Structure 1
Amino acid sequence: MTIALDHHTPQTFVAADPAENAWPPAAGQDTDYLLPPPNPAERLNNMPITPRDQRRLALHAALTAAGIPPRPEDRDAIDQLSTLPPSTHTALQRWLLHAT
């Protein structure tokens, strides 16, 4: 099928085989297959997350779970709170948990 978008440049479109995109799949068509096992080298565990970033992510999650979704303008405050010692961060988490 050729469609002219203007008088100078025709564009060609190829229609997909409708049988391949039919839903539900035709009887006997194999639609179930196993995924390959994960590659351990690609796991997130191999990408180090600094303790500060872990505290920042945990604070975002705790605020959201407490019904206080962080706003973009809260980013600096959250970054500053993430630099506090782990014991202070633990107290913040506990306070937010009990606030709900």
Structure 2
Amino acid sequence: MRGRPSALAPAQPTPPRSSSPSTVTEPTAHLPVDPYDADTAESAWPSAAGQDTDCLLPPPNPAERFSIPITPRDQRRLALHAALTAAGIPPRPEDRAAIDQLSTLPPSTHTTLQRWLHHTA
């Protein structure tokens, strides 16, 4: 019963054996395709009439910057907001009073708070 095919399965033809080694053809080499290498004239959106397509802003002029000094307390308050946000704890509006109180603490305490928040992130 071993050599007979099952009545349910169709008999599979065996491929003829040849004495010569089979030759495998290598696929032809394809050049890499660059999806961004397209003719811009054909694929670009048409620009609106009278509108420049490239509008670069000039670099900021340092002489035109505001010269308003930030107090150390405000610097600590802003740094605490940034550290809380970076740690995944975005400050809520009702947290403003607590943050204002924390920003009045000495710089060494504020540095410790920053270190603690940095290690939680």
| Shorter-chain TM band | 0.5 to 0.7
What is the deviation of 1:33? 4.2
Q: Percent of aligned positions with the same letter in both sequences?
A: 87
- Which protein has the larger Cα radius of gyration, Structure 1 or Structure 2? 2
Query: Which residue identity does 1:56 align to in structure 2?
Result: R
The counterpart of 1:40, out of the listed 53, 58, 62, is: 62
1:48-100 Cα distance to aligned partner (Å, 9 max, x none): 11111010000001001111111111100000100111111110000001012
Bigger share in helix = 1
2:106 alignment counterpart: 85
2:118 — aligned with what? 97
1:31 to 53, 57, 61: 53
**Are residues 1:76 and 2:100 paired?**
no
Mapped partners of 1:70, 1:60: distance in 2? 7
Which AA in structure 2 matches 1:62? A
Structure with a larger share of its residues in strand: 1
TM-score computed with the length of structure 2 as normaliser: 0.55
Distance 2:97 2:120 in 1: 23
Amino acid at match of 2:68: M
Aligned length, in residue pairs: 77
The runs of at least 4 aligned residues of structure 1 exceeding 4 Å deviation read none
Equivalent position SS for 1:48:
coil
Gaps of at least 5 residues in structure 1 are 1-22
Name 1:10's counterpart in structure 2: none
C-alpha RMSD of the superposition:
2.4
